[in-house]
Chain A
Amino acid sequence: MALFESRGGSSAQLLDAELSGLDQLEMALPPRPSRLARVWAATWPKLTAVALALIIWQLVVWSGWKPEYALPGPRKVWDAFFENFDNNMSAAGTTLWRGVRGFLFALVIGTTIGALVARVRVLRAAFGSMITGLQTMPSVAWFPLAILLFRLDEGAIFFVVVLGAAPSIANGLISGIDHIPPILLRSGRVLGARGLTAFRLIILPAALPSFVAGLKQGWAFAWRSLLAGELIVTIAGKYSLGQQLDANRQLADSAGVIAVMIVILVIGIMIDSLLFGTAERTIRRRYGLVDTAT
């Protein structure tokens, strides 16, 4: 009985102390490594990989497998890039702008379609598999039709870029919504979230990790469709990365071709890992989807 007595008078204070004691015991989290350490841990493997690729490339050139005018070494490509620097930059600007514009439009369309298909049963039955089908169709296959519809012009490229990216974006949102734990939806309903409010405050944020994965994939498809488009649809007097590739090939300038290829690769990696990769990691950490034990 002594146990009960001791809790008598100041039980409220005791309760406070017990709660905060338990909280402190359970909240001991391992410290996160410093920012510099994390950046370095992420950077050095990449730098090593690049160095390794350059070395192998140079070794292949030295091996004499192909004549040097067909397969130049890193040094020559470096020079070629700066020789043609202004053209390359203006070409990259045009291509990037086309990509961003098409992607943003695909974002609007993909999100709208994704939201409707995920939430409306009839639309799901009608269009669900069609969206997946569109996603697997190589976007190059759209070009003949796009050219007939829009002629050899910006419109044709835009059309194919949007068609390349939108299905992935829609699919990302659909699968995100499909995988929301039912408890969160019930929780939202108990709190009184209905209709559009529920969509904005509960469903969309709950689907966000998968949605961002869809955006990332959408960008990859947009970028691919775009470069294919620029090789096929060359618009007179306009520099673009695809057009530069083709122009350099016609001049038999291998170094120029490889320089442009590297620009394409670097832009692709930057957007994929810096923009979408960072967004993805931030969201996963915020949502507690990262295993802290490793």
Chain B
Amino acid sequence: MTRASTAARREEPATESPRSGAGSLAAISLDAVTKVYGHAGNAVPALDRVSLEVEPGEFVCLLGASGCGKSTLLNLVAGLDRPTTGTVEVRGGRPTLMFQEAALFPWLTVRGNVDLALKLRKISRPHRRETVQALLEMVHLTGFEKKMPHELSGGMRQRVQLARALGQQAEILLMDEPFGSLDAMTRDVLHDELERLWRETGLTVLFVTHNVREAVRLGDRVVLLSSRPGRVVAEFPVEIDRPRRIESHSVADLAAQITGRLRDEVRRHGAV
């Protein structure tokens, strides 16, 4: 499946991004994407000429301080929004988006929420039942089918969201700070869980976070964005063996290095 949003003014020939040699094989490719909100006088640029490629099956973490346009970028890839200029191409299958907050439907049970994803893909009822059960088993929520979202803990809700996303049979998982509101303990366990699911399913993951260690813990590659407007300023390949531990020295070392770079970026916005 290919979906390309093309804007007229800044259409450039299909040059390969210098960052990656894979070119047209990329699951997601952004080419000089700029997104501006508002009009003329009070236009706010959210993204400025962002070019990024994500390989199929790759786990890429987008890292940035506030105002780096992380969510805007995910919306563009998810097809919820269009770039002002530049192109966004998604070739690696259907994308789905997972949110930070409670994006579960409060009137549906855990089962109902996951089931809706399948229902909207027009899968027959008997088929759905089994699939929902299997999905809930994947995220270790068997036994909680009949609970309402508000009866679950934050970590469990995010796992239901994950099951729902997997139920869409999307090949690309976009995650918008999915563990941002969880306590550290739960977050660590969910990192393990996500890593396991990613390895089992071969999903392509684009994961947005402002937590440097989380990015290093999870990503094959960490892409650092600047703020206001968002721009790619650096990329860090993460060559640490999996499974990783967030408290390991190798993760901490690389995280320290990236944090230094991130702080440089933040300082540029200071008043001094």
Contact = CB atoms under 8 A, between A and B. Distances in A.
Interface of A: 3-4, 7, 11-12, 15-16, 18-20, 22-23, 26-27, 29, 183-184, 186-187, 189-193, 197, 201-202, 205-206, 208, 286-288
Nearest to A186: B80
Contact of B150 (A202, A205, A287): A287
Interface stretch (B6-14, B96-104, B202-210): B96-104
Given A23-B140, A23-B156, A191-B96, 5 more contacts: A15-B189, A20-B140, A29-B151, A184-B105, A205-B107
Contacts of B103: 183-184, 186-187
Contacts of B96: 190-191
Contacts of B164: 191
Interface string B152-187: 110110000000100010000000000000000110
A191 B140 contact: no
Contacts of B119: 201
Contact of B189 (A22, A193, A201, A202): A22
Given A23-B153, A192-B120, A193-B120, A187 B105 contact: yes
Contacts of A18: 189, 192
B73 to A, nearest CB: 15
B245 interface: yes
Contacts of B152: 26-27
Contacts of A3: 245, 247
B261 interface: no
A16 B140 contact: yes
Interface residues of B, number: 40
Nearest to B186: A22
A11 B168 contact: no
Interface string B101-143: 1111111100000001101110000000000000000001000
B252 interface: no
Interface of B: 78, 80, 96-97, 99, 101-108, 116-117, 119-121, 140, 144, 148-153, 155-156, 164, 168, 185-186, 189, 192-193, 196, 243, 245, 247-248
Given A12-B196, A27-B153, A192 B121 contact: yes
Given A22-B186, A288-B148, A191 B248 contact: no
A27 B96 CA distance: 28
A11 B186 contact: no
Contact of A191 (B116, B144, B247): B116
A254 B266 CA distance: 81
Nearest to B189: A18
A26 B181 CA distance: 15
A18 B140 CA distance: 11
Contacts of B155: 22-23, 26
A19 to B, nearest CB: 5
Nearest to A290: B150
Nearest to A12: B196
B134 to A, nearest CB: 16
A201 B164 CA distance: 15
A103 B115 CA distance: 35
Nearest to B94: A192
A287 B106 contact: yes
